[in-house]
Amino acid sequence: MTGDEKVALAYFFTVKVKSIPFAFVSMATHALRTRMFTGISFAKMLGTGSGETFTPNDANLYRWGMVVVIARDRISTFDESSIIRNWRRRSTSEFRAVLTPLSSHGLWAKKNPFDFTAPQLNPDAKIAAITRARIKWSKNLIFWRSVPPVVTDLHQSPGFIAAIGIGEAPIGLQGTFSLWESASALRDFAYKGAAHQKAIAQTKDIDWYSEELFARFEVLELRGDISSITQK
């Protein structure tokens, strides 16, 4: 893999109580600054939650994240930028994943940011998944009622490591970042789990999304302990 190729970066920070106002302000200001950073073609600032119901009750005001698509030779520069240093200075823990997409279907903000897919190079690599959806306002209640069985199935799946609920807004823009021991573990959850299969069928029948994306990634590098940011 050469330096001009792109990768995805996922950051998650747990902030101190006094830094919650900083996090709220940064959701807007850092979104613009990140998108203007040389080498970045896509950037989203994210609130997080438990991902158990995807309602505002899930929200965790101490944990925040971002997902960017960046030229690989710009990773270290961005990692030491004032954007990341400002978050790092206010955080009690930090987790970062460097990822390359294996597959990506759908749209996020009217584009597929992970369209530079490639075959898996390391058969023993961990796998990350990002799901993201824009839920139709009229479908929110039925969506929330349908989520809990899928979450239970997710957390009981063999090979599951961790998951974080992600969102660009308290309501309507919801998703999940999850980490798996292997590609086969993720496939088994996606295609063999009864609750997940029912949710897929409901997605077609009820049509509750106005936009959705599902992407799988080969994990190139992990830094930090994901357990420190998945705690409620």
pLDDT at 14: 93
Compute the distance between CA of residue 101 and CA of residue 7 in angstroms, rounded to an integer: 8
Phi/psi of residue 229, nearest 5 degrees: -110, -5
pLDDT at 13: 95
CA contacts within 13 A on the Cβ side of 167: 23
Question: Which segments of 76-224 are extended strands (E)?
Answer: 91-106, 127-135, 160-167, 173-180, 209-223
pLDDT at 83: 95
Q: Are 81 and 33 in contact (CB under 8 A)?
A: no
pLDDT at 49: 79
Q: Are 40 and 74 in contact (CB under 8 A)?
A: yes
pLDDT at 133: 79
Phi/psi of residue 76, nearest 5 degrees: -65, -35
Domain ranges of the chain: 6-224
pLDDT at 172: 44
Domain boundaries 6-224, corresponding CATH code:
3.30.70.100
pLDDT at 155: 74
Sequential pLDDT tens for the chain (232 residues): 444 699 999 999 999 999 999 999 998 888 889 989 999 999 999 988 765 555 556 788 899 999 999 999 999 999 999 999 999 999 999 999 999 999 999 999 899 999 999 999 999 999 999 988 776 544 555 555 555 455 666 777 889 998 888 888 654 457 889 999 999 999 888 776 554 555 555 555 555 666 889 999 999 999 998 876 665 5
Distance of CA 129 to the CA centre of its chain: 7
pLDDT at 84: 96
pLDDT at 153: 67
pLDDT at 225: 80
pLDDT at 163: 87
* 129 Cβ contact list (under 8 Å, min separation 6): 176, 177, 178, 180, 186, 214, 215, 216, 217
Q: Are 178 and 155 in contact (CB under 8 A)?
A: no
In this prediction the pTM is 0.85
